[in-house]
């Protein structure tokens, strides 16, 4: 059975010692209203925290018709549903020299040639695509951000946030194992290809 956003909110509620809701998004109790209000904030924050496979999107961008006024020769428009860029061209952003691009709003300004391949984290709302680690991570983040308002227990809030951070680290470790290639092929494929095997740190 596919996970729903109500399931994630209920999982957060159980972490807080609260009752589960038939539909937290229509329930008028203070706890349900707070958790449902905070849900999208936590979902986006957790998606940004790691390159979850469910949220990675590869796309090839054409250069904008109008070039930047100065400094850069081309600009490319980032999709509106992008939460975070992971890769530009064939290189992970962590490895790109800062002079190779500049991000201004929804524009990538660069001298890199068109068309431009990018990988980004997409604002995915379809919870049926979320794996167990992502579901648990969102629930823990949601519970930790609401804990003080609901329980007035700072220790619980800090403990839940620590559990959330550990869950994300587990996901990164799991993805790092999935990205391993046979020795014969480890030099044969580009960074662009390797991104299709799993998440990047």
Compute and round to an integer the Cα radius of gyration of the chain: 20
Quote the tokens at residue 76. Answer: 């490319």
Predicted confidence at residue 2, as pLDDT, reads 83
Residue 101: the pLDDT is 85
What's the rounded Cα separation, in Å, for the pair 86 and 31?
35
> Which backbone phi and psi does 4 adopt, to 5 degrees?
-110, 165
- Give the whole-angstrom CA distance, residue 194 versus residue 198: 8
Burial class of residue 100, CB neighbours in 10 A (0-12, 13-18, 19+): middle
pTM over 0.75: yes
pLDDT at 97: 60
Which of 173, 147, 177 minimizes the C-alpha distance to 160? 147
Looking at residue 174, its pLDDT comes to 83
Return the structure tokens found at 6: 């109500």
Distance of CA 88 to the CA centre of its chain: 17
Q: Specify the pLDDT at position 93.
A: 66
**39 near 8, Cβ under 8 Å?**
yes
Q: Enumerate the β-bridge partners of residue 56.
A: 121
Query: What's the token pair of residue 54?
Result: 């469910």
For the chain (201 residues), the mean pLDDT of every run of 10, in chain order, is: 93 97 97 98 96 93 94 94 88 65 90 93 96 96 98 97 96 74 42 42 45
The confidence score (pLDDT) of residue 89 equals: 77
């Amino acid at each position: 059975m596919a996970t729903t956003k109500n399931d994630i909110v209920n999982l957060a509620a159980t972490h807080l010692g609260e009752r589960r809701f038939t539909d937290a998004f229509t329930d008028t109790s203070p706890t349900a209203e707070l958790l449902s209000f905070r849900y999208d904030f936590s979902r986006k924050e957790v998606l940004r925290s790691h390159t979850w496979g469910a949220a990675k999107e590869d796309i090839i961008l054409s250069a904008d018709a109008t070039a930047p006024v100065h400094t850069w020769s081309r600009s490319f428009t980032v999709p509106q549903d992008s939460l975070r860029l992971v890769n530009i061209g064939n290189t992970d952003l962590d490895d790109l020299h800062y002079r190779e691009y500049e991000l201004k709003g929804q524009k990538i300004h660069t001298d890199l040639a068109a068309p431009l391949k990018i990988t980004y984290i997409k604002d995915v709302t379809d919870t049926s695509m979320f794996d167990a680690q992502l579901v648990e991570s969102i629930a823990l983040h949601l519970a930790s951000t609401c804990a003080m308002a609901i329980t007035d227990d700072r220790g619980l809030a800090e403990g839940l946030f620590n559990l959330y951070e550990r869950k994300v680290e587990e996901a990164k470790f799991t993805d790092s194992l999935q990205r391993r290639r046979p020795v014969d092929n480890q030099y044969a494929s580009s960074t662009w290809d390797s991104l299709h095997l799993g998440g990047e740190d």
